[in-house]
Amino acid sequence: MTQHRAEEAPLWRSLLYVPVTSRRFLDKAHTRGADAIQLDLEDAVAESEKEAARRLLPAAVDQLVGHGVDVVVRVNRPWRHVVRDLEVAVRPGVRGLALPKLGSAEHVQMLDEVITELEAEAGLAAGTVRLIAMVETTSGFFRLREIAAASPRIAYLTLGTEDFATSAGIAPEPELVVGPKQATVFAARAAGVRPIGLVGSIANYRDQDAFRRVCRRSRQVGLVGASAVHPLQVPIINEEFSPSDEELDRARRMVAAYDAALAGGDGAVEFEGGMIDEPVVERSRQLLRLWSVGAPR
């Protein structure tokens, strides 16, 4: 399969979950401002409705793509479901698959093999469909880096707050999950993929001030986006996971000042009241690369 870098994948700050079985939610999904719509075949669909959801998926994808929306599909975990999910989800218009409850690199690689076969059958170029690797258990937590590096399709890594907290026997409170979330950031960066998620629960969407604080803290620890379970969360996620114009402008000035210093033979330079050197400037370069032309604003 063609090797892809995560940097070449779409930048999704916000991924709004929409049950594929809900016509009411689906018809409004493209108006919500999310960077991607995450059509759900998993938790939001009852066991008795799984087959009906698969039948509805192609039309739902076409509808959203017709509105210019990036589409991700969250599939199920059990093998008897996931293969059938993939057979309908690997199709033109689907840009990514969210793989829940991953427990090992081998699990990812087996799914990758199925996806590669289905891409060929659908006439898609190898590697078209990207992956969001979702780790949701304590056993998976200790394999984060191996999972993140298991396939070049993987563009994003996330540690599911609610399921992980349940597996760990703790509450999904920010002060209790910040350590595991920081470890997820490190594992993702070591594997060259983007870390997403929240340092806290996404379930309480009514308290928007509290949700904003969770988003802000999440960006501080290195996460670059998050899923949303309600449209009210989307604008907050988009705002809090976006750099301000001032941040971008300062990053451009810093890089320019440092490049000028290097051209003059200096490896460190004073910039706006402080000293900057290569590691400091590289953070600004990373920000500018992530938010280059084409990134959502």
Kindly state whether residues 34 and 86 are assigned to the same domain: yes
pTM: 0.93
Q: Radius of gyration of the chain from Cα atoms? A: 20
**Cβ–Cβ contacts within 10 Å for residue 122, how many?**
14
Residue 267 and residue 222 share a domain: no
Banded model confidence at residue 5, pLDDT cuts 50, 70, 90: low
Asked if residue 87 belongs to a domain, the reply is: yes
Residue 180 sits in a domain whose CATH number is 3.20.20.60
User: pLDDT at position 145, please?
Assistant: 97
| Structure confidence at residue 264 as a pLDDT band (50, 70, 90) | confident
Q: Determine contact, residues 193/157, Cβ cutoff 8 Å.
A: yes
Q: Are residues 83 and 182 in the same domain?
A: yes
* 296 lies in some domain: no
The verdict on 175 and 234 lying in the same domain is: yes
Residue 1 is assigned to a structural domain of this protein: no
Q: What is the pLDDT of residue 297?
A: 54
Q: Whole domain around residue 32: which residue ranges?
A: 6-240
pLDDT tens-digit map of 68-110: 999 999 999 999 999 999 999 999 999 999 999 999 999 999 9
Please check whether residues 226 and 257 belong to one and the same domain.
no
pLDDT at 72: 98
Instruction: Indicate whether 253 and 195 sit together in one domain.
Output: no
Closest of 57, 56, 143 to residue 101, by C-alpha:
143
- Which pLDDT score is estimated for 143? 98
Contact 195, 185 (CB under 8 A): yes
Does the pLDDT value for residue 262 go beyond 90? no
Arithmetic mean of pLDDT, 153-172: 96
Residue 203 is predicted with a pLDDT of 80
Domain count along the chain: 2
pLDDT at 57: 98
What's the pLDDT tens digit per position in 101-153? 999 999 999 999 999 999 999 999 999 999 999 999 999 999 999 999 999 99
CA distance 289 to 92: 28
